[in-house]
Amino acid sequence: MSEVEEIMKRILSHKGVEGVIIANTEGIILRSTLEDQSTVHHVALVQPLLMKAKKIVQDMDPEDELTYVRLRTEKNEEIIAADKDYFMISIQTPSL
Amino acid sequence: MEKEMTPTLLSNSFNGTTNSSGSGEFKVSRRSNQKIKFAASLNHNNSDKSSNSVPHKKAIKVLDAQRRDVTPLALGPTRLEEPQSKKKPLSLDDLFFNTGANIFKSSSVADVASSRLFCSSFSSMSTMESGLLSRSCKTEDSFPLQDVTPPPPAHSAVPLERKCLPEENPDQGFDVTLTETDTFSLLDISPTIISEDAEGAEAVKQRNIHYAEFCKSRMANDNYSERSTQAFVGEPKTKHVQTNKNSSVNKSTTATSWDMYDSLCKPVDAGETQEADQEDYFVSTKKEKDKAEGSLSGDTGSTLSFVVEMETCVDSLTAESDQDKIVLSESFQNSLLVMERVVVLNIFQPMLAAFRGLPVLKDPYSTEKKPAAMEQSTEDKDWFLTPTLERLWAFACPLSIGRNITSMTWNKRNPDILAVGYGDWSSGSPKPGLVCCWSLKNLMWSERIFPCHSSVTCLDFSANNPGQLAVGMYDGSVAIYNIQAKNQVACIANSRDTSKRHQQPVWQVIWTKQQLQLSGEERDEVLVSVSGDGRITKWLMLSDGFNCIDLMVVKRIQDRKEKPKGNQEKIENVLLPVTPVLCVDFHPTDAGIYVIGTWDGRMHKCSFSNSAHFLDTYNKHFSPVTQVEWSRFYPDVFLSCSADWTIQLWQLDTMTPKMSFTSVQSPVDSIKWSPNCSMVFAAVYRQRMEVWDLSSSILLPTAVHHAEPGVTLGSVLLAKGSDCVLVGDSGGRVTVYKLKNFRAGKQKQVNNLDDIMQAVPGSLND
């Protein structure tokens, strides 16, 4: 448990990282470093995207599975790690 | 009419209606004489008339006139009979007349004795006929009747006329003839409209006219008077009734190919819970929406919202237990690991691209425009620029900062993994050391951290088992770590308890492949360590532990007398004439030959097989030789450096060095050949690091990097496949520099180390 906390703290300490959100597949938020309102907003918007992405991957090849989704926008980048039970979003402003 | 017609079942309802007299006329048309014979046989004993014997008592077989079996089949599951007074063999009498509660009790029409039902209805019909109608009818029924008192038929009060059958009949089949009854008409309402051509039309017309006249005369007639009256009409009253709103829930699912595949692959219980979770998810989202809508509609949705609250309570409880499960699961930690790497890579992307030699992409959205233009112009002048070192990044983490770096090495299989050893013994008492394994994918935190009980002096990765890292320490112990494990179990061998361990610091450990003994492909690998007690030992992982065998003990060569040689154990006594061996390197192709460098400046060529004598001695340095390294490109060439400020290039069989390099008056701590180019090597002095490119200059180093003040450089390493130099310093940082503008080996292919060596005028003499 403490290892997990440590790693999360490290991720947050990297340059440009704005927040990390961990939620389970039902959309229940387990851990978040952003404020509630924006966290809920984020999760609610990302969830359908993830489901669609999972569906895409598995429709093309039923044995394949979605692992990560990276969403790069003008202002920042969202890295989403997806799994059967949970998904984790980390938002980073790249320093390029 | 045909005799082959199969008997049909008459329904219960028919029975019922025939019992009661309905409205309308009851007619019976003339019956058509339809005879159907059927033979029913009761099998108590095997009767010869029936085709096959059925074991149970009540089987009835119906055969038609042609002796074909037309037994009606049961419509439903056969019902077991109550064993009441069935001791006597069942008679047809029972079957035909036992119509009371027994048969009509069961709702199913069919029975084993479905024909029984038929027979009973038939019998009721015949009864009725005999009772109600007095018609002459022809029946040829010959029922076998026995002396059994049947219960009185429920539907008819008319006593039956029975004919007694002679006694011998039960074993024989008998003939029953079925006839059709006349048609019964239940309701007959005559029409009130007749056509004009009908017979009574005239009379009807007359009556109509008469009636019309009568209506006309009604007004003035004294026979009729009008009167009105008022009837009480009840007041209508509204009554309210309240019920619960019928809530509807939309449930839908999409069957996709992956969904089906998932359900197939998972075990059943897990699959069901998964489904349940999925359903819950759908239902809960729907209900949440309903809740939102319900609040608008007022109290009609009150029960609905209560249910939703319950659900969310339950959900939050399960979420907490789920949370722990998720967070502790392995896949989550994997995700975290990769996430960290991705984030770090995002930050360091340009540096890593430069490291790998990829073109560095500029962010199209960045606000800096000017440096791009400048970059373009400098590219043209690239040719004329001096080679420089550009700093890319530094491997440093809070654990490692402040520790002195003593050694670094790349993993043999995965070129992204770097092992760094930390140790400090300058203060007199050696401090505990540390080994960190860094990965190029995560530049900010080392993936593995292994604390050691003593300062680490040297490291080497094994080639055969790439996960094994040999560590030599200041107190003389040699340990092997398995870097695939994460914590304490990583140390798979430690020589602390071995009896023959080194007593002096281990200055170098090296894995080497032995001579090819068998025809197998993998050569055995052997760990060799050299230490300050003059011993060169070979370490083996035996069944009882980690043990070593001395390859050689290096004695101080005295010119005057010969000391007894041998593999005797020397106790830790510095006065004995052993020479600390500081470095060793094995010949790249001929694994039995190796060169060692000693404290007194001599270098010896030794062989595995000969443990007593040196094959050769190279005498040039007069200070401790700190590093020896064979060139990977030229098998007989090796480089040595020592504390006497010089670096020497030797060839195997030549007793004097071919070339010598000096730049500053500072002990050379380490040198390394470049794995990419045959003519480049790097050397580290205390305060500076130099890169020599022999194709451009043999007198001066091509690139020089000065250490920051207060920091001494300890170790250097060159990266394979990338023209970068790693420098470890006493601040605990491993800084990565890119060699820019090096034209080593790219332009002049002709240049060759041999040529260079030939070009040196003569060989250097002492």
pLDDT tens-place string over residues A57-92: 989 998 888 999 999 888 888 999 988 888 899 998
Minimal Cα distance from A82: which residue of B?
B335
Please state the separation of Cα B463 from the chain's center in Å.
Answer: 32
Q: Are strands B616-619 and B625-630 parallel, antiparallel or unpaired?
A: unpaired
Q: Phi and psi for A36 in degrees, rounded to 5? A: -55, -45
CA distance B346 to chain A (A): 6
In the predicted model, residues of chain B with pLDDT beneath 70 are 1-59, 77-172, 220-221, 267-323, 326-327, 361-385, 428, 488, 490, 515-523, 542-545, 556-576, 743-766
d(CA B377, CA B188): 116
Model pTM score: 0.56
Q: Looking at the predicted structure, is the pLDDT value of residue A3 above 60?
A: yes
Dihedral angle, C-alpha B680, B686, B688, B691, nearest 10 °: 0
Q: Contact A59/B277, CB-based, under 8 Å? A: no
Q: Contact B346/A28, CB-based, under 8 Å? A: no
Best of B279, B336, B363 to disrupt the A interface by mutation (most A CBs within 10 Å)?
B336
User: What are B389's two structure tokens?
Assistant: 């070192």
Q: Looking at the predicted structure, is the pLDDT value of residue A34 above 60?
A: yes
For chain B, the domains span: 388-557+576-759
Helix (H) or strand (E) holding B364: none
Minimal Cα distance from B323: which residue of A?
A30
Neighbouring-strand partners of residue B419 = B409, B437
d(CA B456, CA B433): 5
Contact residues, chain B, for A15 at CB < 8 Å: 347
DSSP assignment of B54-65 equals -SSTT-EEEE-T
Q: Contact A22/B284, CB-based, under 8 Å? A: no
Q: Indicate the DSSP class of residue B383.
A: G
| Range B311-320 burial, b when 16+ CB lie within 10 A, else e | bbeeeeeebe
Contact residues, chain A, for B346 at CB < 8 Å: 16, 77, 92, 94-95
Contact B31, B179 (CB under 8 A): yes
Contact B141, B177 (CB under 8 A): yes
Please tell me the predicted confidence (pLDDT) of residue B153: 45
Alpha helices in B167-223 (DSSP H): 201-216
Nearest by CB to residue B340, choosing from A11, A26, A85, is A11
d(CA B684, CA B663): 11
Burial of B579 (0-12, 13-18, 19+ CB in 10 A): buried
Contact residues, chain B, for A83 at CB < 8 Å: 331-332, 335
Please tell me the predicted confidence (pLDDT) of residue B97: 53
Please tell me the predicted confidence (pLDDT) of residue B163: 52
Q: Phi and psi for B339 in degrees, rounded to 5? A: -60, -45
Residue among B433, B437, B499, B500 at smallest CA distance from B472: B433
Nearest by CB to residue A88, choosing from B324, B339, B365, is B339
Best of A26, A70, A79, A92 to disrupt the B interface by mutation (most B CBs within 10 Å)?
A26
Please tell me the predicted confidence (pLDDT) of residue A1: 66
Write out B690-733 in H/E/C secondary structure.
Answer: EEEECCCCCCCCCEEEECCCCCCEEEEEECCCCCEEEEEECCCC
B23-32: pLDDT as tens digits: 444 444 444 4
Q: Contact B362/A96, CB-based, under 8 Å? A: yes
Contact residues, chain A, for B281 at CB < 8 Å: 25-27
User: What are B456's two structure tokens?
Assistant: 């680490």
A–B: how many Cβ contacts below 8 A? Answer: 113
B298-338: pLDDT as tens digits: 343 334 444 444 444 444 455 556 667 766 777 888 888 88
Residues 6 or more apart in contact with residue B383 via CB below 8 angstroms: none
Q: Phi and psi for B284 in degrees, rounded to 5? A: -65, -40
Contact residues, chain B, for A7 at CB < 8 Å: 333, 336-337, 340
CA distance A67 to chain B (A): 9
Location of structure tokens 């939050």: B316
Burial of B302 (0-12, 13-18, 19+ CB in 10 A): middle
Minimal Cα distance from A20: which residue of B?
B339
Please tell me the predicted confidence (pLDDT) of residue B323: 67
Please tell me the predicted confidence (pLDDT) of residue B120: 46
Asked if the interface predicted TM-score (ipTM) of this complex is over 0.95, the answer is no
Contact residues, chain B, for A4 at CB < 8 Å: 327-328, 332-333, 336
Nearest by CB to residue A96, choosing from B280, B284, B366, is B366
Please tell me the predicted confidence (pLDDT) of residue A53: 92
Q: What type of residue sits at position A14?
A: H
Contact B490, B479 (CB under 8 A): no
Residue among B463, B579, B453 at smallest CA distance from B510: B463
Q: What percent of chain B is modeled with pLDDT above 90? A: 1
Q: Contact A62/B261, CB-based, under 8 Å? A: yes
Please tell me the predicted confidence (pLDDT) of residue B167: 47
Does the domain formed by B388-557+576-759 have CATH 2.40.10.480?
no
Q: Contact B346/A92, CB-based, under 8 Å? A: yes
B572-592: pLDDT as tens digits: 333 457 788 888 888 888 777
Minimal Cα distance from B263: which residue of A?
A62
B31-82: pLDDT as tens digits: 444 444 444 444 444 444 444 444 444 567 777 777 787 887 877 765 554 4
Q: Phi and psi for B174 in degrees, rounded to 5? A: -130, 165
Please tell me the predicted confidence (pLDDT) of residue A40: 92
Nearest by CB to residue A26, choosing from B281, B327, B445, is B281
Q: Contact A7/B257, CB-based, under 8 Å? A: no
d(CA B40, CA B42): 7
Helix (H) or strand (E) holding B28: strand B27-28
